[in-house]
């Protein structure tokens, strides 16, 4: 009987010791805080304030690449929070327009971007002319298409696999390295991901 009591006490003490160790470890390594939003991290953010702060710079880089410009096209050099340039004010208007188009037409999915119209040019090369007097084209009712003529997904995957060198070649890829330069201000430091 004494052996059972000792064994029970040992188990209880072990459980208590593990629990105390767990609490001590948790106190030393608290859970990470929630990611900051762009508005919490940067000054004077208006349209993109709710995106995670670590996505703001890549978003800005996408915008500059879509327009074929540098950061100083919209921002005052070394003072990006200032609103001194009319291009920055207009960019805010364009971001709002793009957001509304996606929200109203594409269930909030990002189908329309700066690149959709700009294609690497500060001013879109061409804009469709829409006259209020023109009659809108009539839409035809959707016709049933014979989807049996489409290739099967498995066949498409097999063609892709063959194009990249086969399953063995794909299995050999264990990492990917991207190298480039950050184009946010001067100097332009190298970056490797």
Question: What are the 10-residue block averages of pLDDT along the chain, 193 residues in total?
Answer: 70 71 68 80 88 88 90 88 89 90 87 86 74 60 68 86 85 84 73 80
Burial code (b: 16+ CB inside 10 Å, e: under 16) for 18-42 equals eeeeeeeeeeeeeeeeeeebbbeeb
Q: What string of DSSP letters covers 20-81?
A: HHHHHHHHHSPPPPPPPBHHHHSSS--SSTTSBGGGHHHHHHHHHHHHT--GGGTSBTTBTT
Residue 16, preceding peptide bond in cis (omega within 30° of 0) = no
- In the chain, what are the domain boundaries? 38-123
Check residue 155 and give its pLDDT.
87
pLDDT given for residue 111 in this prediction: 86
pLDDT, residue 185, reads 64
Domain spanning 38-123, CATH class: mainly alpha
Report the pLDDT value the prediction gives residue 27, as an integer from 0 to 100. Answer: 67
Q: Report the pLDDT value the prediction gives residue 130, as an integer from 0 to 100.
A: 57
Q: Which pLDDT score is estimated for 107?
A: 87
pTM reported for the whole predicted model: 0.51
């Amino acid at each position: 009987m004494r052996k059972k009591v000792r064994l029970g006490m040992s188990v209880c003490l072990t459980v208590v010791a593990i629990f105390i160790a767990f609490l001590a470890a948790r106190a030393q390594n608290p859970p990470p805080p929630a990611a900051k939003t762009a508005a919490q991290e940067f000054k004077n953010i208006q349209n993109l304030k709710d995106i995670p702060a670590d996505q703001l710079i890549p978003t800005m880089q996408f915008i500059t690449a879509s327009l074929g410009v540098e950061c100083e096209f919209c921002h005052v050099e070394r003072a990006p929070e200032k609103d001194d340039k009319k291009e920055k004010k207009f960019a805010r208007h364009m971001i709002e327009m793009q957001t509304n188009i996606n929200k109203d037409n594409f269930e909030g999915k990002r189908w329309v971007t700066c690149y959709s119209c700009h294609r690497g040019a500060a001013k879109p090369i061409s804009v469709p002319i829409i006259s209020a007097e023109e009659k809108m084209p009539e839409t035809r009712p959707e016709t049933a298409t014979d989807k049996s003529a489409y290739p099967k997904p498995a066949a498409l995957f097999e063609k892709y696999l063959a194009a990249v060198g086969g399953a063995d070649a794909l299995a050999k890829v264990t990492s990917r390295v991207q190298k480039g330069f950050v184009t946010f201000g001067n100097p332009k430091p190298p970056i490797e991901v």
